Amino acid sequence: MLHRPIYLDCHATTPLDERVLEAMLPYFREQFGNPASSGHAYGWAAAAAVTQARETLAAAIHAEPEEMIFTSGATESNNLAIKGVAEAYFSQGRHLITLATEHRAVLDPCAYLESLGFEVTYLPVQADGRIDLEQLEAAIRPDTILVSVMAANNEIGVLHPLAAIGALCHRRNVLFHTDAAQAIGKVPLDVQAMQIDLLSLTAHKVYGPKGIGSLYVRRKQPRVQLAPQLHGGGQERGLRSGTLYPPQIVGFAKAIELAIAHQVTENQRIDTLRDRLWQALQAIDGIHLNGHPTHRLAGNLNVRVDGVDGQALLLGLQPVVAVSSGSACSSTTTAPSHVLTALGLSAPQAYASIRFGLGRFTTAAEIDQVAQHVTTTVRSLRQAVGQAV
């Protein structure tokens, strides 16, 4: 194969783990049955695989299998959680709270609800990207029905204090949803201990296939009501119609099983590589970390470089390293990252930021090569405009 750039964009997606692919293959071939076909062995085999996968996923977040709804990914899970709660609870209140730094798959459903007459509070974050719990508490009103705060940010990797948010929401009788697309398999998640009512997952950020995810929906204390957003055959307890997709579901479960089994050791390894990269990049004058120094995902390093043009920087990096300056999910727009501007960065600072996403297959040799290349690229950009190196 031709020489490909080193992949450090693991917040956008991750490569499929070979072991996940192996687990999926039989369900494309001989085990092709529809899990809803209850009258023959093809259906039974598919249904058994789905049941087992559901148990694996539930166990990973300390939920019950019946509380896991399969979806096409975190975007759909977020839509189902937010619009589904709004539609089911609007007679009790029409106010929702979320963060300015959420993924578009949370912000856009919220904006849609505003167009229907709901009110949404978009809380600012602190300069390090973390939620301010006092501000959250102050924002909760008698008509607040849902708080949606992500577990880990997809740009700056910042981790939010889920247990504290869950406790506050339950004390104030408000449902708590968290988008855990970046967190699953990387940080511990426990819907009981953290008092989470709805939790969105996706497989492709943890070395699983694209196009499959899940929404955890709490069934007791409280029993969460949800209005389905897809109507049809009544699969997934009527909450998400559509034929289940066994290869993706089996792959999703395998990916989560692997990630959870190796979570601690893998985090340590990736954390060490990330620190090695950050250390090496200190050779660059005027380089700064975006986001919190320690409350962040192991694989995340988001930096900005003073006085370089962001566009030129990315262009210079791309033959050697695949990174991005913000979220892949909003990269069709040319606006600066809403996450970085929420930290107080100017538009040029946001453009001159790089998001490194390290993962399972990143090696120390790659990190050294990347650090070297970033350093020389910045140097040559600065020389071109006659600045100090």
Ligand X SMILES: *Cc1c(COP(=O)(O)O)cnc(C)c1O
Active site amino acids: 329
150 binds ligand X (CB under 6 A): yes
Beta bridge partners, 99, equal: 123
Report the alpha-carbon distance of residue 293 to residue 120 in Å, rounded.
30
Residue from 169, 181, 253, 277 that binds ligand X (CB under 6 A)? 181
**Count of residues interacting with ligand X (CB under 6 A):** 13
- What is the full DSSP assignment across 103-165? -HHHHHHHHHHHHTT-EEEEE---TTS---HHHHHHH--TTEEEEE--SB-TTT-BBP-HHHH
Q: Does 236 bind ligand X (CB under 6 A)?
A: no
Q: Does 256 bind ligand X (CB under 6 A)?
A: no
Q: Is 294 exposed, middle or buried (0-12, 13-18, 19+ CB in 10 A)?
A: exposed
Contact region for ligand X (CB under 6 A) — 25-33, 68-76, 135-143, 360-368? 68-76
What's the N-to-C CA distance of the chain in angstroms?
36
Q: Which is nearer to ligand X, 281 or 297 (CB)?
A: 297
Task: Pick the binder of ligand X from 46, 47, 68, 75 (CB under 6 A).
Answer: 75
Residue closest to 119 by CA, chosen among 136, 138, 96: 96
Residue closer to ligand X by CB (options 172, 210) is 210
**Residue type for position 176:** F
Nearer Cβ to ligand X, position 324 or 377?
324
What x/- string results for residues 193 through 212 when contact with ligand X is judged by CB under 6 A?
---------x--x-------
Closer residue to ligand X (CB): 103 or 304: 103
* Distance, CA of 364 to CA of 351 (rounded, Å): 27
Q: Does 182 bind ligand X (CB under 6 A)?
A: yes
- Return the residue of 74, 80, 169, 378 that touches ligand X, per CB under 6 A: 74
Interior angle at CA 242, CA 207 and CA 147, nearest 5: 65
Q: What are the Cα distances from residue 259, in Å, to 20, 204, 223, 236?
A: 11, 12, 29, 25
Q: Could you say which of 79, 101, 154, 337 contacts ligand X (CB under 6 A)?
A: 154
Stretch that binds ligand X, among 25-33, 70-78, 118-126, 236-244 (CB under 6 A): 70-78
Among 35, 73, 299, 359, binds ligand X (CB under 6 A): 73
Contact 188, 54 (CB under 8 A): no
CA distance 113 to 111: 5
- Least distance in angstroms from the C-beta of 41 to ligand X: 32
Here the tokens at position 285 are 């004058």
Q: Which stretch binds ligand X (CB under 6 A): 15-23, 90-98, 137-145, 179-187?
A: 179-187
83 part of the interface to ligand X, by CB under 6 A: no
Among 85, 105, 191, 317, binds ligand X (CB under 6 A): 105
Q: Which region, judged by CB under 6 A, interacts with ligand X, from 46-54, 72-80, 249-257, 284-292?
A: 72-80
Residue 202 or residue 377: which is nearer to ligand X going by CB? Answer: 202
Handedness of CA 129, 134, 138, 142 (dihedral sign): positive
Kindly tell me which of 213 and 310 has the beta carbon lying closer to ligand X: 213
Give the residue from 288, 318, 267, 292 showing the smallest Cα distance to 126.
Answer: 292
Provide the 3-class DSSP secondary structure of residue 102: coil
Task: Give the footprint of ligand X on this chain (CB under 6 A).
Answer: 73-75, 103, 105, 150, 154, 179, 181-182, 202, 205, 213
